[in-house]
């Protein structure tokens, strides 16, 4: 998929910006200075393809609702799609023209299986990830599998995941070294301690009975002490209540006396006091308002009478204002009159100077010959063309001399090269041998690897301890599958663990059953417990005796000797049945415990039977698992114990066989490679002979000599071709100079003829130079503006004089209309006086109008105040009549007494409420009767005595509680020691934790091993194409300083190495910048390999060339352009030199977009 266009419609700092991508370009460079929007455009690529993120940081200019991106993409199959992306939760893809929603999966054919994360990891590379990849290369020492995965698209985290799983497994269990902090060993220690505790825990029946009896006695003593303390507390509370009640009664008596002192009060309706006080306040306010309104009305009348209005001047207000406006304008113009006269004088003087410069007699003659705009513009153009023709003549002469000097230098340089042949055939032969040196070295390394591998396999086969001669003999054994062996071993271990657990459960249940029977015996010792069955039996015996004696008691038959014996037994039977029923009420706890222990015994019996059955089943399963294990190995003739040793042997045997097969494949590949190397060496010898180099003989292939010789040949051939192009260019330039010289001569003749016709009209002599003509035109350019300025000044002077005369005439006419009172003298002063008089008259009129309005308002306020006073008097009279008071002066003292009576009644109600709350519902008379004859001292003494008794009871209660707590603690400690149930549960929990630890260790350990195997398979599958391509890219990126990369098979595992002068060097020898370039070469090679297997997306690079110098920047751009043949490559950068280098190196293959 490729971008055809990306529209930043409303996104980040952009509005309506569109980036168009050239479909012919192999590399697109988007360059922008800081804050030009490079990061915004970079983020827009992913947001357009996969949706704007939920919390976008590019909404600072456009809010979420208005954010919009658009794009046009083209697929590899020729399909295209234009869409717009909006910031919302649903239907984010729309048609860019109509905003009609598009299907959510319309981009799927273009994106394939890639999501945002895969796109950024596979096809995104920035400076930070490039540097990180380089640092990991240096830190890892070039481990081949790790390096290939780190550079692979989307697989960079596989090695880290493998290490994390390996470390996690080691933290759970390490078979090589016991670690007390490991989860497996912690659980094992817990199980050992629990088993030790089971052995050490014992309990005797006599000690248990003594502790329980002591605990029961302490509990009874505690209940009695608590009841006594409660009674003492109640007595203290009653005594304290009488003291508080006496205090409240004294308060009530005092308030009653104060109420009686107020004397008789009249009966008034509710709210009377509030209404009366409000009526008095309203009356006072009404009287104050009436007096104030009268004073203000008199003052307003006096103010109106004091104002005088000038009606004569007000009638002429409009003429006076017009005259004042005219006065200001005329006076201003008169002040500028001297300046206008000065301007006219200066303009005339300048025109006289121009006339003299043009050899004209005077200003009038100058005005008469003033040229029009068309004539003047024609003369201007003619002067400019004359000046340009002179300048071109000088330029042509300079170019002719410079061209002759360049031709001499080019001829000398070409003569020094001699004859040079075309190097293209030689270059093709050299390119066909690309990688031959590395393939020859790889073949030698492979031979050493195969020999070492065969020896190692033989040694590993011997170390199995199975008496097998070698890996070939091992391959003939019918070994079981590893999965089947692991499953069988797991069954054997599971069966064994199940047998152990079931036996432990049987043992624990047996101990619990013995303890339960011991507890039952302790509960039933002594008198029988009053259970339901015992009580029913006693009642049945009583009923049987009564049934036998009832006919005798009713007189139905005569008494016999047996009846007398039954009568003697009846009374004890009745007493026994009643006693058991009473005991049932008091021994509820004992009965409950007895019922619980009987139920527990029944449950334990059932559990014990089930546990014994499960133990037998587990034993049978263990025997069957052991037989299945033996049958699994029968075909191979081996008899290995059912433990990890057998699995380790099986895994090692599988690894040996896999390595044997890999060695066979490597040997076959080596033979094919050997034939190719033999052919390439013959071709290298022929090429060296053609280039004049000595033959190789037995020495290793040295491609560097061939590259240098071909490069020198290409350089000389390129120089010769450059010189030929220079000669052709010089010839074309000489012809061009001749043609331009002829054209210039014809142009100068035409310009001279035009000047002879035009210049006399402007007082310029016909043969004048262009400098002389330019000076005359500059004088004519000033003349029109000066002539216009002179005409304007003269016109304005005449206008000012006319305006002054008209103003004086209108002032005289207005003076005659007004008559007396208008001063004579200066006309401007008289106009200002009239305007001042008009303003004063208008102010007097405004004040009179305002005073009239104010007088009307004051009179209305006075009437309202008098009406309010009448209403207040009427309201107060109504209240006095309701209270039957004739004198209004007596109302205020009465209101005070009523307020006091209300306050006393409130305090009485509060005191009686407190008394009722303290006495808990007893009436006031009952309380008075209870404390009658007792003074405060007597009541206080009773409280002190009750408090002392309560303190003694509380101390006794605390001692009983302490004794009960100690007895209960001892009993609980004894019960916790009963049996090994808790310790057994702890042991079971530890066993479960061990199983979980083993399961987690197995999962992490196996996962790490599987990842390692997958990394090895990936290395074996991809190392050849990726390493070969990355080798050529690395040589390009380093400008030939390093000849490529190879694989060092002498290390285990194989490591990546760099090549220089035919020697392998560890990646540790690289600088940080060169390590970055190595990682970039691997990344490009991996992406190319990935692109051949899946539809690629555009590769986005963000400032990855920052650490490259200028030469390696150019090489990096070339490498990226080669990737552009498979997928679109877009490089974002802040640096202008990157764009310049791309234009220089790639020419039309590069497209530059500047933000």
233-271 pLDDT, tens digit per residue, is 888 787 777 778 777 777 887 877 877 777 777 677 767
Residue 1149 has pLDDT above 80, yes or no: yes
Backbone angles phi, psi at 1100, to 5 degrees: -110, 120
Q: Under 8 Å CB-to-CB from 326, ≥6 apart: which residues?
A: 807, 810
Shared domain for 769 and 758, answered yes or no, is no
End-to-end C-alpha distance for the chain, whole angstroms: 24
The DSSP H or E segment spanning 933 is none
- The reply to whether 462 falls in a domain is yes
Point out the domain boundary residue: 569, 586, 603.
Answer: 586
- Residue linked to tokens 């890219």: 1033
33, 1140, 1141 from 18: Cα distances, Å = 18, 22, 24
- Residue linked to tokens 């259970």: 531
Look at residue 10 in the predicted model and tell me its pLDDT.
92
Point out the domain boundary residue: 841, 864, 883.
Answer: 883
- The reply to whether 912 falls in a domain is yes
- The reply to whether 1073 falls in a domain is no
Contact 1081, 1094 (CB under 8 A): no
Shared domain for 776 and 746, answered yes or no, is no
Backbone angles phi, psi at 1124, to 5 degrees: -65, -15
Residue 399 has pLDDT above 70, yes or no: yes
Shared domain for 438 and 542, answered yes or no, is no
Residue 224 has pLDDT above 80, yes or no: yes
CA gyration radius, the chain:
61
Is-cis flag, bond preceding 1053, omega within 30? yes
Q: How confident is the model at residue 988 (pLDDT cuts 50, 70, 90)?
A: low
Where is mean pLDDT largest: 244-258, 499-513, 884-898?
499-513
Q: How confident is the model at residue 135 (pLDDT cuts 50, 70, 90)?
A: low
Give the span between the Cα atoms of 668 and 672, in whole angstroms: 7
DSSP summary character for residue 173: -
Shared domain for 776 and 875, answered yes or no, is yes
Which residue intervals of 1038-1071 are DSSP H helices?
none
Going across the sheet that includes 93-94, the strands are: 14-20, 2-11, 68-74, 80-86, 93-94
Q: Which has the closest alpha carbon to 1035: 1055, 1060, 1053?
A: 1060
Per cent of the chain over pLDDT 70 is 85
Structure tokens at 462: 């011997």
Query: What are 29's strand-pairing partners?
Result: 1131, 1152
Give the span between the Cα atoms of 25 and 1153, in whole angstroms: 12
- The reply to whether 674 falls in a domain is yes
Q: What is the largest CA-CA distance in the chain?
A: 190
Total structural domains within the chain: 5
- The reply to whether 143 falls in a domain is no
In this structure, the strands spanning 27-31 and 1129-1133 are parallel
Shared domain for 788 and 822, answered yes or no, is yes
Q: Under 8 Å CB-to-CB from 298, ≥6 apart: which residues?
A: none
Shared domain for 677 and 708, answered yes or no, is no
Shared domain for 772 and 868, answered yes or no, is yes
Point out the domain boundary residue: 711, 731, 762.
Answer: 762
- The reply to whether 660 falls in a domain is yes
- Residues 1110-1145: tens digit of each pLDDT: 889 999 999 999 989 889 999 999 888 899 999 998
Where is mean pLDDT largest: 164-173, 905-914, 1021-1030?
905-914
Shared domain for 757 and 781, answered yes or no, is no
Structure tokens at 476: 């003939």
Total Cβ atoms within 10 A of residue 176: 6
227, 782, 866, 1110 from 558: Cα distances, Å = 55, 172, 121, 141
Helices and strands, counts by H and E, the chain: 31, 13
Q: Which has the closest alpha carbon to 896: 83, 65, 273?
A: 273
Give the span between the Cα atoms of 440 and 433, in whole angstroms: 11
455, 545, 656, 661 from 461: Cα distances, Å = 10, 97, 7, 14
Shared domain for 855 and 922, answered yes or no, is no
**More confidently predicted of 288 and 921:** 288
Contact 70, 9 (CB under 8 A): yes
Identify the burial level of 177 via C-beta atoms within 10 angstroms of its C-beta, where 0-12 means exposed, 13-18 middle and 19 or more buried.
Answer: exposed
Give the residue numbers spanning the domain of 209.
205-266+894-976
Q: Which has the closest alpha carbon to 517: 614, 610, 608?
A: 608
Shared domain for 915 and 844, answered yes or no, is no
Shared domain for 817 and 875, answered yes or no, is yes
- The reply to whether 568 falls in a domain is yes
For the entire predicted model, the pTM comes to: 0.34
Give the span between the Cα atoms of 132 and 139, in whole angstroms: 10
- The reply to whether 271 falls in a domain is no
Shared domain for 872 and 968, answered yes or no, is no
Angle, helices 1072-1093 vs 981-1037, to 10°: value is 100
- Residues 606-656: tens digit of each pLDDT: 888 888 888 888 888 888 888 888 888 787 777 778 877 777 877 778 888
């Amino acid at each position: 998929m490729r971008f055809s266009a990306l529209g930043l419609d409303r996104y980040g700092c952009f509005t309506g910006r569109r980036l168009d991508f050239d479909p012919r370009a192999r590399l697109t460079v988007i360059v922008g200075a800081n804050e030009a929007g490079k990061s915004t455009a970079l983020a827009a690529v992913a947001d357009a393809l996969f949706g704007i993120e939920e919390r976008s940081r590019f909404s600072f200019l456009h809010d979420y609702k208005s954010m919009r991106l658009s794009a046009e993409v083209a697929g590899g199959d020729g399909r295209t799609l234009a869409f717009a992306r909006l910031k919302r939760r649903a239907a984010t893809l729309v048609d860019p023209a109509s905003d009609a929603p598009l299907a959510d999966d319309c981009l799927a054919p273009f994106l394939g299986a890639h999501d945002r994360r895969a796109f950024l990891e596979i096809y995104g590379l920035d400076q930070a990830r490039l540097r990180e990849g380089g640092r990991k290369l240096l830190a890892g020492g070039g481990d081949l599998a790790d390096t290939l995965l780190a550079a692979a698209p989307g697989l960079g985290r596989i090695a880290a995941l493998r290490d994390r799983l390996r470390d996690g497994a080691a933290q759970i269990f390490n078979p090589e070294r016991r670690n007390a902090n490991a989860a497996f060993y912690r659980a094992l220690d817990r199980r050992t301690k629990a088993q030790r505790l089971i052995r050490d825990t014992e309990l005797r029946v006599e000690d248990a009975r003594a502790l329980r009896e002591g605990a029961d006695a302490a509990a009874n003593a505690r209940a009695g002490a608590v009841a006594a303390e409660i009674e003492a507390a109640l007595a203290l509370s009653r005594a304290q209540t009488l003291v508080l009640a006496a205090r409240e009664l004294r308060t009530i008596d005092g308030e009653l006396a104060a109420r009686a002192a107020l004397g008789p009060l009249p009966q008034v309706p509710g709210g009377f006091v509030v209404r009366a006080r409000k009526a008095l306040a309203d009356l006072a306010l009404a009287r104050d308002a009436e007096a104030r309104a009268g004073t203000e009305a008199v003052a307003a009348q006096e103010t109106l009478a004091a104002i005088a209005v000038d009606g004569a001047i007000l009638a002429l207000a409009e003429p006076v204002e017009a005259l004042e406006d005219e006065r200001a304008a005329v006076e201003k113009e008169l002040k500028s009159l001297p300046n206008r006269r000065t301007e006219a004088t200066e303009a005339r003087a300048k025109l006289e100077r121009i006339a003299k410069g043009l050899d004209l007699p005077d200003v009038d003659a100058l005005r008469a010959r003033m040229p029009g705009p068309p004539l003047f513009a024609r003369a201007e153009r003619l002067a400019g063309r004359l000046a340009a023709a002179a300048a071109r003549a000088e330029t042509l002469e300079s170019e002719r001399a410079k061209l002759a000097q360049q031709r001499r230098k080019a001829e000398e340089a070409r003569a020094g090269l001699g004859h040079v042949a075309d190097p293209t055939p030689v270059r093709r032969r050299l390119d066909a041998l690309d990688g031959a040196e590395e393939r020859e070295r790889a073949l030698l390394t492979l031979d050493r690897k195969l020999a070492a591998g065969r020896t190692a396999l033989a040694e590993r086969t011997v170390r199995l301890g199975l008496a097998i001669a070698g890996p070939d003999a091992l391959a003939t054994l019918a070994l079981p599958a590893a999965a089947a062996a692991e499953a069988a071993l797991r069954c054997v271990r599971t069966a064994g663990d199940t047998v152990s657990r079931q036996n432990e459960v049987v043992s624990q249940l047996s101990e619990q059953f013995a303890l339960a029977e011991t507890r039952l015996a302790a509960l039933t010792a002594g008198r029988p417990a009053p259970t339901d069955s015992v009580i029913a039996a006693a009642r049945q015996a009583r009923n049987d005796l009564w049934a036998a004696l009832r006919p005798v008691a009713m007189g139905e038959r005569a008494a016999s000797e047996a009846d007398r014996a039954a009568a003697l037994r009846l009374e004890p039977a009745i007493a026994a049945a009643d006693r058991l029923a009473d005991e049932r009420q008091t021994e509820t706890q004992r009965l409950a415990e007895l019922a619980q222990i009987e139920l527990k015994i029944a449950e334990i019996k059932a559990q014990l039977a089930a546990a014994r059955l499960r133990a037998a089943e587990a034993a049978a399963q263990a025997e069957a698992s052991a037989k299945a294990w033996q049958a699994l190995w029968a075909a191979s003739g081996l008899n290995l114990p059912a433990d990890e040793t057998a699995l380790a042997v099986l895994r090692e045997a599988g690894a040996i066989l896999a390595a044997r097969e890999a060695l066979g494949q490597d040997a076959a590949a080596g033979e094919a490679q050997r034939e190719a190397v033999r052919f390439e060496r013959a071709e290298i010898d022929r090429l060296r002979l053609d280039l004049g180099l000595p033959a190789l003989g037995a020495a290793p292939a040295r491609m560097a000599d061939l590259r240098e010789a071909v490069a020198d040949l290409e350089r000389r051939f390129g120089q010769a071709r450059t010189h030929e192009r220079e000669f052709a260019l010089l010839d074309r330039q000489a012809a061009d100079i001749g043609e331009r010289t002829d054209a210039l001569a014809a142009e100068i003749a035409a310009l001279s003829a035009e000047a002879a016709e035009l210049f006399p009209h402007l007082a310029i002599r016909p043969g004048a130079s262009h400098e002389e003509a330019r000076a005359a035109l500059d004088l004519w350019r000033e003349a029109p503006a000066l002539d216009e300025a002179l005409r304007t000044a003269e016109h304005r002077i005449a206008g000012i004089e006319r305006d002054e005369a008209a103003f004086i005439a209108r002032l005289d006419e207005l003076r005659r209309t007004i008559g007396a009172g208008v001063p004579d003298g200066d006309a401007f002063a008289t106009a200002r006086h009239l305007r001042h008089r008009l303003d004063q008259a208008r102010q007097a009129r405004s004040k009179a109008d305002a005073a009239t309005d104010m007088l009307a308002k004051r009179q209305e306020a006075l009437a309202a105040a008098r009406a309010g006073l009448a209403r207040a008097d009427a309201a107060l009279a109504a209240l006095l009549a309701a209270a039957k008071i004739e004198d209004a002066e007596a109302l205020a003292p009465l209101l005070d007494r009523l307020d006091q009576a209300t306050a006393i009644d409130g305090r009485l109600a509060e005191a009686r409420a407190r008394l009722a709350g303290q006495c808990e519902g007893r009436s006031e008379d009952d309380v008075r009767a209870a404390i009658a004859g007792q003074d405060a001292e007597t009541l206080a003494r009773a409280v002190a005595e009750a408090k002392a008794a309560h303190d003694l009871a509380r101390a006794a209660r605390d001692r009983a509680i302490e004794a009960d707590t100690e007895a209960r603690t001892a009993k609980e400690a004894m019960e916790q020691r009963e049996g090994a149930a808790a310790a057994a549960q702890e042991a079971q929990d530890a066993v479960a934790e061990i199983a979980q630890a083993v399961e987690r260790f197995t999962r992490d350990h196996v996962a790490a091993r599987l990842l390692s195997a997958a990394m090895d398979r990936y290395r074996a599958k991809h190392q050849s194409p990726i390493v070969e391509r990355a080798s050529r890219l690395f040589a390009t990126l380093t400008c030939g300083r390093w000849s490529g990369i190879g694989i060092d098979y002498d290390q285990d595992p194989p490591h990546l190495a760099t090549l220089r002068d035919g020697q392998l060097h560890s990646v540790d020898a690289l600088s940080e910048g060169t390590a970055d370039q190595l990682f970039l070469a691997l990344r490009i090679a991996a992406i190319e390999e990935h692109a051949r297997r899946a539809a690629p997306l555009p590769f986005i690079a963000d400032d990855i060339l920052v650490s490259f110098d200028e030469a390696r920047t150019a090489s990096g751009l070339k490498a990226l352009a080669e990737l552009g043949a498979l997928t679109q490559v877009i490089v974002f950068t802040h640096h202008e030199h990157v764009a310049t280098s791309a234009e220089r190196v790639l020419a039309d293959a590069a497209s530059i977009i500047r933000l």
